[in-house]
Chain A
């Protein structure tokens, strides 16, 4: 299974501020009753968006200035909560191809990487600065360079990082593990044969 080598992601950005944005916030559980992930995208942040609307304000994801953005910016511990892949799937299907945050919850990070959607870390000051650029010019293109470890927009460069193993997986086109795992099937059977409970 040849996968695309993901070394760079370029697109417009949108900032959804907040720390500890959990998976239930990203996709409320009641929208997860599906037997495929198709159609999940439109419910991304559904409750936050409707609550913002009720307050007479516009949620960044409903703000036409940011329509079509493919890079999401947020705060710390993004994606905490559930291990359900519905959250990264919803974001991916909404159109996001990368996420920038101060930190990520572990399972969310792994699930996103497996989708080929890089999660990169920047400092909170830099995220705010980048959000400022996007706010003043929503058409500004943001480029995440995984190899260089930087994010650029409007002539500004910011340091960005992601763990080596995730970087390696993305840039070498091995972000979905199944190909590697399938290659090891003989070893799997051999290992299983050493464990009595696997025989049952």
Chain B
């Protein structure tokens, strides 16, 4: 036995090899949301097909939901059309919908794990690139396009080629004030935004062994930003403990059988990898982006690179990035004025993110020049945070406490940057126009760094602002 988890899951889910050589892969769990599913349901109707396994399809609404005025009809009629279309499609096909009034709505990549739907050794697909998040449980999880959403709805399978596997080890203990977010930003910076093309990333090493499930999710979430469509961590006791007792997790005697099965999917100790890379946790500092893709990142103490010093192939993009970000090569990133602080998204909108920040901002105040918002990743996260008193801490500090959704991660709802505002953001993408304004500027960072920016009004080292030791 010398197989990776990917090999084993692939084998267990292979239906057959298609005439063009790709695999017809069974997708055990299909997650859908309002942006990429209505067109797929439309295509299904055009073809006269039905949802094959409605019981293995789960829906939520996240991208377009307002986070302040959540009563329907939404003031944005297009958004209103989308939620109604999803509701209707789910009702007609018998798909479970974690709808707004359910108390279980949230970002699809937060709801799946929270409900215990995301399980080890399974295949998961969703019409959203950050589906790699679910790999934190030892699932093989793909972001897919709308045509593939149609394929999975109609056949519970998709045509796909097996990726290669790159093992990424991180060993050691992260310094105080350094988080999972910094780890993945560092990996993407090192390997590049294309470095993972054709690969699945298997994350491991002692740093990952010690990570909580939520930290693992933060890393897996951004695999796609490094070009890897799939990212995963082998399942272990941390994974099982997280899942135990969740609504969709196996119960009773089934639980023990499931755990035994889940364990068997973990990569064998002598598994063969196509590539292996190792980093030291001690070498990683709080990381922020300075450009327009997540690979354009530096440690907080570093200066923005001079285009002349970046490899020639990246130079044009670096220049374009500086022009868009209104930054100069050679200047420190620290001290850059911030207009908006956004704490949320499927990368860092979980309870542990909010708990960590609340611990440090208690008694502090958001800078007068900053609009700071907290958007819990799900209604479940929001309810817990409220009952634990976190919401009150945020509100006292001057943060707006919002309802669950994607919000300013991509500005498809009313939460958008205005003009060339600069946003300190705990999300995963700093593409031009990503946060709703074509000239808006995004700086990605960990939740605590977002809080530091909110409090000081500029990009700051959270370790200094909050005296993290």
Q: Report the stretch among A14-22, A64-72, A138-146 that lies at the interface.
A: A14-22
Whole-angstrom distance from the CB of A31 to the nearest CB of chain B? 10
State whether B431 touches A197 (Cβ < 8 A). Answer: no
Question: Are A181 and B155 also in contact (CB < 8 A) when A24-B433, A33-B78, A165-B161 are?
Answer: yes
- 0/1 string, B139-157, CB within 8 A of A gives 1: 0000111111011001111
Q: Are B316 and A19 touching (Cβ within 8 A)?
A: yes
Query: What class of interface size applies to chain B in its complex with A?
Result: 35 or more
User: Which of A4-12, A107-115, A126-134, A150-158 is found at the contact surface with chain B?
Assistant: A107-115
Residues in A whose Cβ lies below 8 Å from that of B197: 105-106
Report the minimal beta-carbon distance from B223 to chain A, rounded to whole angstroms.
12
Name the contact of A33 in the complex, choosing from B20, B82, B159, B320 (C-beta under 8 A): B82
Q: How far is the CB of B347 from chain A (nearest CB, A)?
A: 14
**Interface digits, B254-276 against A, CB 8 Å rule (1 contact, 0 not)?**
10011001000000000000000
* B155 x A197 contact (CB < 8 A): no
What separation, in Å, do the CA atoms of A182 and B18 have in the docked complex? 11
Among the 9-residue stretches B32-40, B297-305, B337-345, B372-380, the one with 4 or more Cβ atoms under 8 Å from chain A is B32-40
**Chain B neighbourhood of A191, CB < 8 A:** 13-15, 26
- Contact with B436, one of A30, A32, A168, A182 (Cβ below 8 angstroms): A30
CB neighbours of A111 from chain B (8 A): 145-148
Q: Known interface pairs A85-B145, A188-B155. Does A24 touch B193 (Cβ–Cβ under 8 Å)?
A: no
**Chain A residue at smallest Cβ distance from B81:** A35
**Chain A 23-41 per-residue mask, 1 if CB under 8 angstroms from chain B, else 0:** 0110011101111110000
Give the complex CA separation of A165 and B157 in angstroms. 18
Q: Which of B104-112, B122-130, B350-358, B453-461 contacts A (4 or more CB under 8 A)?
A: B122-130
Contact across chains for A20 and B24 when beta carbons are under 8 A apart: no
Complex Cα distance, B146 from A103, in Å, reads: 22
A23 to B411, CA, bound (A): 15
| B42 CB within 8 Å of chain A | yes
Instruction: Choose from A33, A106, A181, A192 the contact partner of B227 (Cβ within 8 Å).
Output: A106
Q: A24-B433, A84-B146, A180-B18 are in contact. Are A77 and B193 (CB under 8 A)?
A: yes
Contacts of A56 in B (CB 8 A): none
In angstroms, Cα B143 to Cα A81, docked, is 11
In the complex formed, the residue of B with least CB distance to A103 is: B194
Q: Does A80 contact B (CB under 8 A)?
A: yes
Q: Is the CB of B20 within 8 A of A169?
A: yes
> How many Å lie between the Cα of A114 and that of B261 in the bound state?
35
In Å, the complex CA distance between A170 and B29 comes to 29
Against A, the Cβ 8 Å flags (1 = close, 0 = not) of B388-424 are 0000000000000000000000111000100000000
Contact yes or no, B155 A47, CB < 8 A: no
B429 in contact (CB, < 8 A): yes
Query: What's the nearest-Cβ distance from chain A to residue B65, in Å?
Result: 12
Contact A198 B145 (CB under 8 A): no
Q: In whole angstroms, what is the CA distance A185 to B154 when docked?
A: 10
Q: How far is the CB of B195 from chain A (nearest CB, A)?
A: 11
- In the bound complex, residues from chain A placing their C-beta under 8 Å from that of B56 are 198
Q: How far is the CA of A5 from the CA of B35 in the complex (A)?
A: 31
Partner of B28, one of A36, A177, A197: A197
With A81-B431, A85-B39, A188-B157 given, can you name 5 additional A-B contacts, CB distance below 8 Å? A25-B432, A83-B127, A105-B194, A165-B21, A177-B151
Residues of B within 8 A of A (CB): 12-16, 18-22, 24, 26, 28-29, 35-36, 38-39, 42, 47, 49, 52-53, 55-56, 64, 76, 78-79, 81-82, 85, 119, 122, 127-129, 131, 143-148, 150-151, 154-159, 161, 193-194, 197-198, 224, 227, 229, 248, 250, 254, 257-258, 261, 292-293, 313, 316-317, 320, 410-412, 416, 429, 431-434, 436, 438-439
